[in-house]
Amino acid sequence: MNKIFKKWVIHPIKRRVAKYYLWFLRKFTSIKVIGITGSAGKTTTKEMLASILKLDEKTVYSFANIDPVYNIPTTILKCTLSTKYLILEMGVEYPGEMDFYLWLAQPDIGVITNIFPTHTEFLKDIEGVLEEKSKLIKSLSKNSFAVLNESDSRLKSLVNKTKAKIIWFNGENSDAARKVAEVFGVSPENIKKGLKNFDRPKHRYEIIIHKSGAIIFDDSYNSNPEALLVTLKKFNELAGNRIKIAVLGDMLELGKLEKSEHIRIGNEVKKYNFEKVFGVGKSVKYITSKIYDDALDVLPELKTMLKKDIYILIKGSRSIGLDRLVEKLL
């Protein structure tokens, strides 16, 4: 009963209070709103930007790993009259979600990190992903700024679909954060300091030196096809010609693309000459034949392989739970 009451009574009221509270702040203070969306890198970009902006003025930003439908109203209500920057992570999974976020908080700056075939279970295909996420940019006024990834060809199609001034970044999360900070006139010194002070979230590109001497490349926070391709490249650059092992989990929420995308990734994985590839889930059967139902089932065999100069990559969708495997290895 308590959960039902919160969902149908408390949360709807909270959303409206948050909407009108932000209206009040925008009318009587100089608060600026930054909305960040994309298929990957949203949280890292948000955290990097917050690390920079809080050196300049009071900054409020959304919590990590919480449903934005509840997260964004809560974050807005954390603002005070002295808040200068409000950073909102606008992740979308379903058609119409971005419309809700924009109803709550129309950004002054919109950032799209990239467009990949994620959440296609609900958004149908990559064009559906682009259509939903691009609403952020299309909604911006002529006095706003759209910060877009120049390495993503799909985002170039948005040039004539927004009134905002477009700023391109080089594809790196840090450059996206830098470009936003520059719009607000943050000094180069504070930008450099903020990025240096940035504390990367756990299980994202973490390089761990195991007591055995093995190197664990922990990117178990989440996964999608394009992000995994980037991780494979980074991991290969790190490991070089040393012995490489991978533990890969299913990439979820791909809908009708689930089989074809796992097959595509499987073909890419073969190019990197892994000594062994463990799979966790169901669709990883298209990547490797060595499959486990649960992340911790990999643990006994993986432990026997921990030794100096062995490089281990661990990556999968969040609900596969590969972060549990990492914790047990340490």
pTM of the model: 0.82
* Concatenated DSSP letters of 173-205: HHHHHHHHHHHTT--HHHHHHHHHH--PPTTSS
**Domain final residue, candidates 169, 197, 225:** 197
**Entry field: residues in the chain:** 330
- Copy the structure tokens of residue 251: 């990439």
Three-state secondary-structure class, residue 169:
strand
Question: Domain check: are 272 and 123 in the same one?
Answer: no
Neighbouring C-alpha atoms within 13 Å toward the C-beta of 126: 15
- Could you give the number of structural domains in the chain? 2
- In the predicted model, is pLDDT for residue 3 greater than 90? no
- pLDDT over 70 percentage in the chain: 95
- Number of C-beta neighbours around residue 114 at 10 A: 25
Question: Domain check: are 183 and 219 in the same one?
Answer: no
Question: Domain check: are 216 and 176 in the same one?
Answer: no
Per-residue pLDDT tens digits for 237-251: 999 999 999 999 999
Mean pLDDT, all residues of the chain:
92
Report d(CA 68, CA 64) in Å as an integer. Answer: 9
**What is the mean predicted confidence (pLDDT) over 94-112?**
96
Question: Domain check: are 191 and 316 in the same one?
Answer: no
Per-residue pLDDT tens digits for 81-92: 999 999 999 999
pLDDT band of residue 53 (cuts 50, 70, 90) is very high
Residue whose pair of structure tokens reads 């609403």 in the numeric block: 135
- In the predicted model, is pLDDT for residue 5 greater than 60? no
DSSP single-letter state for residue 164? S
User: Domain with 23 in it: what CATH number?
Assistant: 3.40.1190.10
**What is the mean predicted confidence (pLDDT) over 130-134?**
96
pLDDT band of residue 122 (cuts 50, 70, 90) is confident
Neighbouring C-alpha atoms within 13 Å toward the C-beta of 326: 29
Question: Domain check: are 126 and 155 in the same one?
Answer: yes
State residue 12's pLDDT score: 87
State residue 110's pLDDT score: 98
State residue 296's pLDDT score: 97
**Residues of the domain holding 237:** 206-329
Per-residue pLDDT tens digits for 256-273: 899 999 999 999 999 999
Question: Domain check: are 236 and 266 in the same one?
Answer: yes
Per-residue pLDDT tens digits for 10-52: 688 899 999 999 999 999 999 999 999 999 889 999 999 999 9
Question: Domain check: are 121 and 229 in the same one?
Answer: no
State residue 1's pLDDT score: 46
**What is the mean predicted confidence (pLDDT) over 164-186?**
97
- The larger pLDDT score, comparing residue 22 to residue 205, is at 22
- In the predicted model, is pLDDT for residue 8 greater than 70? no
Question: Domain check: are 185 and 259 in the same one?
Answer: no
- In the predicted model, is pLDDT for residue 66 greater than 70? no
Positive or negative torsion for Cα 186, 192, 196, 199: positive
User: Domain with 234 in it: what CATH number?
Assistant: 3.90.190.20
Neighbouring C-alpha atoms within 13 Å toward the C-beta of 109: 25
**Domain final residue, candidates 154, 175, 197:** 197
Report d(CA 202, CA 283) in Å as an integer. Answer: 25
Question: Domain check: are 144 and 214 in the same one?
Answer: no
Per-residue pLDDT tens digits for 269-289: 999 999 999 999 999 999 999
Residue 15 makes CB contacts below 8 A (sequence gap 6+) with: 73, 104
- Copy the structure tokens of residue 195: 């990025």
State residue 88's pLDDT score: 97
**Domain final residue, candidates 197, 220, 237:** 197
Question: Domain check: are 191 and 213 in the same one?
Answer: no
- In the predicted model, is pLDDT for residue 224 greater than 50? yes
Question: Domain check: are 248 and 188 in the same one?
Answer: no
Question: Domain check: are 223 and 189 in the same one?
Answer: no
